[in-house]
Chain A
Amino acid sequence: MIEYLNTHPQFVVLIVTALIWTGIAFFLWRLDRRIEQLSQQIQERTYEHDNNAHA
């Protein structure tokens, strides 16, 4: 594998760029998860608030 990459440096460039975009995608995925958690917490709060108002 290393030998192959040594003779085909374009794949080394490809691996590096793929790694960078994977890292940024991972950050965005984490951000998306936090938005989801926040959204769920707001929904729970709204639900509790509505229940209290009816009671």
Chain B
Amino acid sequence: MKFLFYALSLASAITIGFAGSIVQRTFLRSIAAIVLIIVGIIAGLQPPIVGTFRDALQEALSNGAPVTVLIPQGGATLVNDTSLICTDYAGGKVTCITRHSTDVAAQSQRTRLLLRGRFTTHDHVLVQSVTPAPAVMLPHIPSLGEKVRIMYFHVPLAWVGFLAFTVTMLFSLRYLRWGEITDDTIAHSSAVVGTLFTVLAYLSGAIWAKFNWGKFFNWDARELSVLLLLAIYAAYFILRANVPAPARYRMAAVYAIIASIAALFLVFIVPRVTVSLHPGSKDDVNIGPMLSPEQSALDLTKAAVFSIMLAGFTLLYAWLLSMRARLDILGQRLIGHKT
């Protein structure tokens, strides 16, 4: 189901983003990008992150951050004045100790609850607070805690970076086939925007790595492969800047096509066949929270928020690409402005 979400959001974003021609201004492209990004930011940052008692226990054992547990309606059964049997949304049961057990049991009959507490033994939780659950909640992902929200920005940025380099390759092919300067300009603009998104994905990943793995740079296979990818595209810009036109266009197009093959290899193959800290590496059975086939009750909420951000960033890329390409084309047409 979540893969359907991703596929649909991407297909719609690419269709809207590239509708008509990328060198034409479309109202739908910009308005859809703005709306989706705003909705995505709110949906990625505002809802609470909730887990199960099992998640809470695992985090408590590893000295991780406390986990807020979601109790479905009717999930708290009164035992006595100070204790309840609480069932989380995955069916896990523990004894919850609180002075307000009667109130909590009564509230649980009416609505879903968010319970925050501390494990005293593996099946006893000392309750610190109980609040009614909001409509939208994001699932807890082991060892990430609140930092999981970064995933809703970092992964779409990295995806859009790769999409941009693919678009560079496609327009380079078009240039080689038809010889239109406009295609070369779009290819170059796409590489510029792709580099921006890849650098932002790299920097956001570095900050995330510092607080999850201890260092900004960990000599991880994916970190290295993306760094190499950026070096390859830096060479593309140097090549364009130093070869005079018209030889520049043909050379840049051939280079971009070869670079896109390297990009495919560096983004999808190298991190999967080497040992890495990123999910989905050779020694890891887990392919990551976004692609894992494991299902949880809040999986669709996570997939929906991720899909919104994926579509939002794809449209933002199309919008920036359109602006940059139109500006360059205008410069070329009016005063022979070099890109």
Contact = CB atoms under 8 A, between A and B. Distances in A.
Interface string A34-45: 110010011001
Contacts of B153: 16-17, 20
Contact of A16 (B65, B208, B334, B335): B208
Given A20-B204, A23-B199, A31-B327, A38 B337 contact: yes
A20 B334 contact: no
Interface stretch (B80-88, B141-149, B166-174, B227-235): B141-149
Interface in B198-230: 199-200, 203-204, 207-208, 210-211
Interface in A6-43: 6, 9-10, 12-13, 15-17, 19-20, 23-24, 27, 31, 34-35, 38, 41-42
Interface residues of B, number: 31
A11 B335 CA distance: 47
A5 B320 contact: no
A48 B146 CA distance: 60
A23 B317 CA distance: 13
B272 interface: no
B330 A6 contact: no
Contacts of B203: 19, 23
A46 B338 CA distance: 19
A38 B204 CA distance: 33
The interface residues of chain B, by DSSP majority, are classed as helix
B235 to A, nearest CB: 21
B323 interface: yes
Given A9-B145, A12-B147, A27 B320 contact: yes
B327 A35 contact: yes
Given A20-B157, A41-B335, A42-B334, A13 B45 contact: yes
29 contacts: A5-B211, A6-B211, A9-B147, A9-B211, A12-B146, A12-B150, A12-B211, A13-B147, A13-B149, A16-B153, A16-B204, A16-B207, A17-B45, A19-B207, A20-B200, A20-B204, A23-B196, A23-B200, A24-B316, A27-B196, A27-B320, A31-B323, A31-B324, A34-B331, A38-B334, A38-B337, A42-B334, A42-B335, A45-B335
Top 7 closest pairs, chain A to chain B, by CB: A9-B146, A23-B200, A13-B149, A16-B204, A9-B147, A16-B150, A12-B211
